[in-house]
Chains A and B, each alone.
Chain A
Amino acid sequence: MSNPLRIFVPVKRVIDYAVKVRVNPAKTDVDRNVKHSMNPFDEIAVEEAVRLKEKAPQTTEVVAISCGSAKSQETLRTALAMGADRAVHVEVKDDSTLQPLAVAKLLKAYAEKDPDTTKPDLFILGKQAIDDDANQTGQMLAGLLQWPQTTFASKVEINGKDLKVVREIDGGLETVSTQLPAVVTTDLRLNEPRYASLPNIMKAKKKPLLKLTPEELGVDISPRIETLKVEEPPKRVGGRKVENVDELIDKLRNEAKVL
């Protein structure tokens, strides 16, 4: 078991999940001048990679990689504080136009850049980012690499080059097996991400962080999808109260006609 296992974990900086997003006055985007943090599904991905490293018999390197504006480095430092060994930042000027296909191409380009030092055995990504809700990047990356994909993982087992994943599907669970190299995307149930401790946050500042540009990776990141407008969702008019269970059942039967 001397072959090192190299795990790449792409992470995205997104508006914090607890922030109530608001559409900007120009209706072109949401107001981004709010608290950001690591996409929750990516935290799960980092946690899984670090756990695999902690229990793996072979040496394992966990590489966190983020594509986005300069501020993405904060997100990478968080991943390093959680236990990633090194970080790669692919810097773009305006990350609001960076789309899943472009990110998948950047990840592939970096993975193939320098085969001796960058070739990953495994990609672990979040199943979706909570900002664009696309749920595409992992699948696209696997397609571009022609690697197997095991999405929406709630359990991951690695034994040498064998990978067994329990997936969350509609109505239950499904188990698939495959061989590394592979792409895994995480579902909520996979694990409970750890908090970075203060000493680890300090240590993370000294871990290596490589900066690259899409040009250096030879990837065209121009958006394929144009956002014409962004609007508030329709507001609900609630607030009607009923007096008792009888009135509630009556309203549901005769007014809303849903019973």
Chain B
Amino acid sequence: MFFTTTSRIALQARNTLAQRFYATGAGANALLFVEHKDGAITGATLNALTAAKKLGGSVTALVAGDAPEGIVKEVAKLSGISKVLSAKDNAYANALPENIAPLLVAAQAQFGFTHLFTGHTATGKNIFPRAAALMDVAAISDIVGVEGEDTFVRPIYAGNAIATVKSNDKVKVVTVRGTAFEAASAGDDNAAEEAAPNADKPNLTQWMGEDIQKSDRPDLGSAKRVISGGRGMKNGENFKLLYDLADKMGAAVGASRAAVDAGFVDNSLQVGQTGKIVAPELYVAVGISGAIQHLAGMKDSKTIVAINKDADAPIFQVADYGLVDDLFKAVPEMTEKIGK
């Protein structure tokens, strides 16, 4: 009790101070690492920009790549970006962390950035902790809230607890959960462009190639709608019912661990504590009982629908709309009626 009260007072005091600090315009000096692929800014970068703007100071963007020009122009138009640092070198293709991390360190050293922000994506997760270690500072992963210049909110234990943490380091190296912040959009400004500082390019790894899942359906991690199947699907062929419905709705398809372990679908579709964490606008759980581990991966979804023939399944306790019915009847009916 004592502890809670004290920390709350401390927090209020800090917030007041921080606000005053913002008003002078001398507050945070943040660097946004821009993730991009195939000539497009990766979505999570736009969410990370919104989080960085909450610090109240300036935001400089860093674009690195073998041909960053197009992305630099696009980033310069984003609302809230004061400057774009451009690093053009073949060593920066494919975002290899061994080359990008020293670039972030050099940029921080030159411009005295107080914060480094990027999306908590496979790329962000790969690069940022390495850069933090090179600067001898902690990294703060997967934030869902910005409470002040040094105070952030992040889920732990797969979202079963929410921690408010304060960094005592001089530079805060932060990755941002995309689904927790709105995406920033283009504004009227056109930020100035500048060359990024030179940095070591140790070239320790070679990029060999990639195999991107070719699907017309959206990516599971960032989809606005997700339809997932569980053990109740009975076999892999029956997932076609979900694919058909997903195609009608423009949704991604996911699965519970039970469905993955039973071999119905590939592991990469797993939603849950040890799989993907999703927070779409609409999550439809079909034939999924709703074990803790599954709920951990989807309970931040805006609207949850459950279709299950067992009226006592735990999934109904979190579902905004529950339909107690045989999925083999309800899903095809939904597919048929939704198009109309």
Asked if A118 CB lies within 8 Å of chain B CBs, one says: no
**Chain B residues with CB below 8 A from A138, complex form:** 129
Asked if B182 CB lies within 8 Å of chain A CBs, one says: no
**Beyond A40-B274, A238-B322, is A229–B210 a contact (Cβ under 8 Å)?**
no
Flag if B157 contacts A175 (CB, 8 Å): no
Asked if B166 CB lies within 8 Å of chain A CBs, one says: yes
Flag if B282 contacts A172 (CB, 8 Å): no
Asked if A111 CB lies within 8 Å of chain B CBs, one says: no
Among A58-66, A69-77, A149-157, A194-202, the stretch in contact with B:
A149-157
**Beyond A143-B130, A151-B126, A256-B303, is A175–B273 a contact (Cβ under 8 Å)?**
no
CA distance A134 to B138 in the complex (A): 11
Among A14-22, A82-90, A209-217, the stretch in contact with B:
A14-22
Number of interface residues of B (CB under 8 A): 95
Flag if B333 contacts A245 (CB, 8 Å): yes
Flag if B210 contacts A136 (CB, 8 Å): no
**Beyond A20-B292, A169-B122, A228-B11, is A249–B337 a contact (Cβ under 8 Å)?**
yes
Flag if B268 contacts A238 (CB, 8 Å): no
**Chain B residues with CB below 8 A from A236, complex form:** 299, 304, 317-318
Flag if A228 contacts B302 (CB, 8 Å): no
**Chain A residues with CB below 8 A from B158, complex form:** 130, 133
Min Cβ gap A167→B in Å is: 8
**Beyond A26-B4, A171-B213, is A227–B163 a contact (Cβ under 8 Å)?**
yes
Flag if B317 contacts A238 (CB, 8 Å): yes
Min Cβ gap A145→B in Å is: 9
CA distance A227 to B156 in the complex (A): 11
Q: How large is the interface on A (under 10, 10 to 19, 20 to 34, 35 or more residues)?
A: 35 or more
Flag if B208 contacts A177 (CB, 8 Å): yes
Min Cβ gap B108→A in Å is: 14
**Chain A residues with CB below 8 A from B235, complex form:** none
**Beyond A134-B141, A228-B165, A229-B7, is A176–B249 a contact (Cβ under 8 Å)?**
no
**Chain B residues with CB below 8 A from A137, complex form:** 129
Chain A, residue nearest B317 (CB) = A238
Asked if A158 CB lies within 8 Å of chain B CBs, one says: no
Interface residues of B in 108-163 (CB under 8 A from A): 121-123, 125-134, 136-142, 151, 154-163
Interface residues of A in 155-188 (CB under 8 A from B): 164, 167-178, 188
Flag if B210 contacts A256 (CB, 8 Å): no
Among B24-32, B69-77, B198-206, the stretch in contact with A:
B198-206
Flag if B7 contacts A228 (CB, 8 Å): yes
Flag if A136 contacts B129 (CB, 8 Å): yes
Flag if A20 contacts B160 (CB, 8 Å): yes
Flag if B338 contacts A233 (CB, 8 Å): no
CA distance A248 to B126 in the complex (A): 41
**Beyond A20-B292, A134-B141, A225-B166, is A242–B161 a contact (Cβ under 8 Å)?**
no
Binding site for B on A (CB under 8 A): 15, 17-18, 20-21, 23, 26-28, 30, 40-41, 99-101, 104, 130-144, 146-152, 164, 167-178, 188-189, 224-233, 236, 238-242, 244-246, 248-249, 251-252, 256, 258-259
Binding site for A on B (CB under 8 A): 1, 3-4, 7, 10-11, 42, 94, 96-98, 101, 121-123, 125-134, 136-142, 151, 154-169, 202, 204-213, 219, 221, 225, 249, 267-268, 270, 273-275, 281-282, 292-293, 299, 302-305, 311, 316-325, 330, 333-334, 337-338
Further pairs besides A132-B156, A143-B134, A238-B320: 11, Cβ < 8 Å = A21-B157, A99-B138, A136-B129, A136-B141, A141-B133, A149-B205, A152-B126, A173-B211, A230-B163, A240-B320, A242-B323
